[in-house]
Structure 1
Amino acid sequence: MPPAVRPRRAALCAVTALTALTAVVVTPAPATPATSAATAAFPASAAKPAAHGEPLELRFGACPESVPEPPAPDRVECGELAVPLDHEKPHGERIRIAVSRVPASGTPAERRGVLLVNPGGPGGSGLPYAVTKRAKLPASVRRAYDVIGFDPRGTGRSAPADCGPMGGLFEQPGADPVPVGPEAEVAYLKSLDRMADDCADGVGDALPHLSTAETARDMDAIRAALGEPRTHFLGVSYGSYLGAAYAHLFPHRVGRMVLDSVVGPGSWYDFDVRQSRELLRQRAVFFAWAARNESRFGLGGTAADVRDAYEHTRRGLADRPQQGFGAAEFDRAVYRALGRTERWQPLADGIRAYLRDGDAARLRPADPHDSPASRTFEAANRTVKCADGPGPTPARILADLHSARRADPLPVLTGMEASTCAYWHHRPTRHTPLGSPDAPPVLLVASEHDPVTPVEGAHRLAERLPGSRLVTLHDDYSHGVFASRGNACVDGTAAAYLVDGTLPDADVHCTGPGLPEPTP
């Protein structure tokens, strides 16, 4: 049995609400630059509890400095919405959800409503995404929609999860993420157990409520606060999972929904295992690509040569870490690079520089793993995954580790976050339901060779959303497609659906860019 739940920290505390969730109003305010006025709108205690008896309102004003200013004449404005910690207890404790808005740039006749957006994760901050993603959207979509970003509960400025040391996750250099032998495996399982204890200490009795289903209910509260009859939504990666959860809970409130780089239905742990296998396939493609460009990278003329260079680099960093950068940090950099082909050249250059000069500087990511934003992301990621359904058993974790090492002695296991759920203090009894036959058909988008969210997830989710259409970008190897890859076929299809509301008559097949040509 798990130990008694600890009191949660101030970041997740809330007080009793006296007003109903339906009592929501929106009070627009002129947008102002994110200067000192932003401090008044978003105090340092960004996750402060809702005040006792405070109306459930969404007032817009200045944004924090983390939200960039869009190009003129567009403007961005931010606010907070108090929502129940547990939506089944609408008069109970509440937390605040941070929301941003960039108004539509078109005429009133062109306006189609609000488009909520989510960048993925779980754990990704959506507050600045209203600006950054909107800038990449086709002009017709920008003219038609107010783009609404929000930090999902547990992330960013929305009652951020705090798991403290997370079982040593932020120690540098970290333990090798591929344990070999009984002693290393026991140490690995113990680190997962400590991580679960740390999250229970930090998050406390909010642990069951930082879930995708509760966030989907927050989305509907945002819709109601904005006075909109339907939720139009663009979700990328985990955002597709969130959108599908919303479609299950509120099928008759679903408007036009684009789910990009789709996480399929089922267990997060099963998803992590599938992803780890796809990463091996992608890494083999990377090795062959670097070999074809031997004159540029100098890592060898065959995939086996490049793999030897890769293994030599990893082994050297495992034996002699550089300023906290060892095997775990190298694997993290590889995991990030394999998801987007534009990151392959920097990875190959980093390996070459290490082998030539013994310097790992070019392999280090720009953002430190133990930064405050990264700590919140890692905590929210595991907290949400473990709140969304049952976790694996320790025996299954070890069996899958052995299977992964049989497939390849050096697997990439950085994305196995749901392993922590084996020791979680809150044990959900079922997985988050996704999709509904009562929801209108939506548009799914996928890259043919995406290793982060394999294309099979889109096919499986389509079965839960009858009549939906899938846009596949063939001969593409990257994660994130719509308004991301610059593909006119994908972007044009999605834009026409969002603006006109008409789905294609059949699934759409677009031609992708293939593998990149390295620059000199």
Structure 2
Amino acid sequence: MKAAVLYGTLGSLVLSALAVAPAGSTDQLTAEARGTVVAARRAATTKIAFGRCPKSEMLPASVRCGTVKVPLDYARPKGRQIALTVSRTAATGKKSERQGALVYNPGGPGASSMYFPMVAPLPEWKRIARAYDLVGYAPRGVGRSAPLSCQDPADFAKAPTQSPTEPSESYKRERIAQAKAYAQGCGQNAGPALRHYTSLNNARDLEVLRAALGEPKLSFIGASYGTYFGSLYATLFPSHVRRMVFDSAVDPDPRQIWYRNNLDQSLAFESRWEDFRAWVARHDGVYHLGTSAEQVLENFEKVRARLAEEPAGGTVGPAQLQAAFLKAGYYDDYWAMRATALSAYLKGDPKPLIAQAAPRPEAAKDDENGNAVYTAVECNDAPWPTEWSTWDRDNTELAAIAPFETWDNAWMNLPCAYWPAPRQKPLDVGVHPGELPPTLILAAERDAATPYPGALELQRRLPGAALVTEKDAGTHGIGGGPNGCVNHYLENYLLYGRTPVRRATCAPHPEPNPVSLDERSAPRAGLRPSAL
């Protein structure tokens, strides 16, 4: 997110009280707790029949796939069941080295980790893969796991589109209408099932998956949003936790879920956007986009204006440009690619920008599915403001100091103002001292998607948790990535259960190489979280 100085200004924003929807009753929560026990016992008996993965998963033969059934509604555990898809590779070490299954979730909401077992041969994961079966899965609503959809994927992927940082009143009315239509589409497509796509149910599903894998206790890595429902799991089932890693932590304070967390995220992206532009300016000899962050911004805005008049390749407009450069706010290994595309476009060659920013029709279905699950979970999880005036005021104030991402983030979440399903009251994450074994939190100090204060808040709520901070860095999701110091702490914890006494720091990983095409295009060894 943004720099610390900008982050501090959020307290001055006038945020009206959220419209509070009725929370589930104690009886309802008790029924869901009983239902989880029933579902977990059933899964422990039936287990998962792993076999060849469907071709649609595009996984190598070394990865095996299966399904686990979970109740749609945990208050009715014998009612409708949905099947979650699961992937696994067996631990590669000796039998005496095996420590069980390690489950990974990359966040979202709406992301799948079916690919996770493929990291086993990577140098950063080899020793962990010797000790653990690596397990990925598609959470409820995602992929083939009772997929959720809110609109035609072709409409979702429509391009080119606009992305004004100072939207007009007419543009705002247009986006309000789109948000209402999207929320209505979610309700019509999912029907009564819509209310059951929640973070609490994702945590309960994780408990059933643990039982189906035959594990008496859970070893889990959650990244980004995965840290939030991982913390819910730790709160609900502390005695079932063996090892738990929270990589790039969401602030779990119930007052933050989700409206305020998204405002914080928009604020934080401004600083990370400046980090990128400053890096480009330091390499003006390569990119010729300016010798200061301000000059790089001027060139970016010049490209945005040109695309508003004439989209590149007929598909890349301002919104597609914005989406492509937002990724540079998440991961600095995009920096060289994006700077090259911007530079080439201004020199008359739009091809690199088109290659990086144009929508891919073959991905439209998955992208729409991921967005539908993201929206359903966040809208169901908590109260949201239901008056447009609240959104308008808060985002107008915020955009004055953080224009890069503020309005696009608001439009993405605006369906929650008109949501057709009941809202929950967020669970107050936390355990008593001694209830939970030591856990590990990983955080980059300048992470924009999950600002650093969220890691501090999570540590405060989980007694015994250790925090490893990558200083002066902002990549989102740092475990198994390019920082050897971070990976040392991750490996020590997963293999030996060792954590720092309370906090430890790592120097930042090296900045991207602006020249080498090989290094510029090489994928990270780590695992990219999604959305949050």
- Please indicate the TM-score interval, normalised by the length of the shorter structure: 0.7 to 0.9
Partner residue, 1:405: 399
Count of residue pairs the alignment pairs up: 472
TM-score, length basis structure 1: 0.85
Q: Distance in 2 between matches of 1:69 and 1:169?
A: 27
Shift of 1:272: 1.4
Comparing 463-472 and 269-278, the one that deviates more: 269-278
Partner residue, 2:506: 510
Partner residue, 1:381: 374
- 8 Å CA contact 1:66–1:128 kept in 2: the answer is no
- 8 Å CA contact 1:136–1:483 kept in 2: the answer is no
- 8 Å CA contact 2:87–2:137 kept in 1: the answer is yes
Matches within 5 A, 1:5-20: 20=38
- 8 Å CA contact 2:270–2:404 kept in 1: the answer is no
* Two-structure CA RMSD over aligned residues (Å): 2.5
Counting helix residues as a fraction of each chain, which structure ranks higher? 2
Superposed CA offset, 1:477-520 (max 9, x none) = 21110102x22211111111111112222311111125323115
DSSP-derived class of the 1:321 partner? coil
Alpha carbons of structure 1 residues 366 and 331: separation in structure 2 relative to 1, 3 Å: closer
Shift of 1:25: 5.5
Superposed CA offset, 1:387-425 (max 9, x none) = 211122322211122113321555454444333211111
Partner residue, 2:337: 346
For 2:306, which of 307, 310, 316 is the aligned residue? 316
Letter in 2 for 1:392: P
Matches within 5 A, 1:482-501: 482-484=479-481, 486-501=482-497
Q: Distance in 2 between matches of 1:203 and 1:25?
A: 25
- 8 Å CA contact 1:102–1:146 kept in 2: the answer is yes
Shift of 1:252: 1.0
Alpha carbons of structure 1 residues 409 and 376: separation in structure 2 relative to 1, 3 Å: closer
Q: Distance in 2 between matches of 1:223 and 1:233?
A: 10
Query: Does residue 1:271 correspond to 2:289, yes or no?
Result: no
Partner residue, 1:13: none
Partner residue, 1:243: 230
Superposed CA offset, 1:13-63 (max 9, x none) = xxxx9x95245367xxxxxxxxxxxxxxxxxxxxxxxxxxxx954211111
Shift of 1:244: 0.7
Query: Does residue 1:301 correspond to 2:291, yes or no?
Result: yes
Letter in 2 for 1:371: A
Partner residue, 1:231: 218
For 1:422, which of 417, 425, 442 is the aligned residue? 417
Partner residue, 2:163: 176
Q: Distance in 2 between matches of 1:329 and 1:476?
A: 26
- 8 Å CA contact 1:57–1:82 kept in 2: the answer is no
Alpha carbons of structure 1 residues 337 and 360: separation in structure 2 relative to 1, 3 Å: farther
Shift of 1:120: 1.5
Partner residue, 1:431: 426
For 2:249, which of 253, 256, 262 is the aligned residue? 262
Q: Distance in 2 between matches of 1:105 and 1:293?
A: 43
Query: Does residue 1:327 correspond to 2:322, yes or no?
Result: no
Letter in 1 for 2:267: R
Comparing 172-181 and 238-247, the one that deviates more: 172-181
Letter in 2 for 1:251: P
DSSP-derived class of the 1:82 partner? strand
- 8 Å CA contact 1:296–1:518 kept in 2: the answer is yes
For 1:478, which of 467, 475, 478 is the aligned residue? 475
- 8 Å CA contact 2:91–2:133 kept in 1: the answer is yes
- 8 Å CA contact 1:212–1:432 kept in 2: the answer is no
Q: Distance in 1 between matches of 2:456 and 2:318?
A: 35
- 8 Å CA contact 1:469–1:507 kept in 2: the answer is yes
TM-score, length basis structure 2: 0.83
Unpaired stretches in structure 1, ≥5 consecutive residues? 2-16, 27-54
- 8 Å CA contact 1:80–1:96 kept in 2: the answer is yes
- 8 Å CA contact 1:200–1:207 kept in 2: the answer is yes
Partner residue, 1:58: 48
Alpha carbons of structure 1 residues 199 and 473: separation in structure 2 relative to 1, 3 Å: same
For 2:360, which of 353, 368, 383 is the aligned residue? 368
Comparing 174-183 and 122-131, the one that deviates more: 174-183
Shift of 1:319: 2.0
Shift of 1:108: 2.0
Partner residue, 1:117: 104
Shift of 1:165: 3.8
Higher relative contact order (Cα pairs below 8 Å, separated by 6+ residues): 2
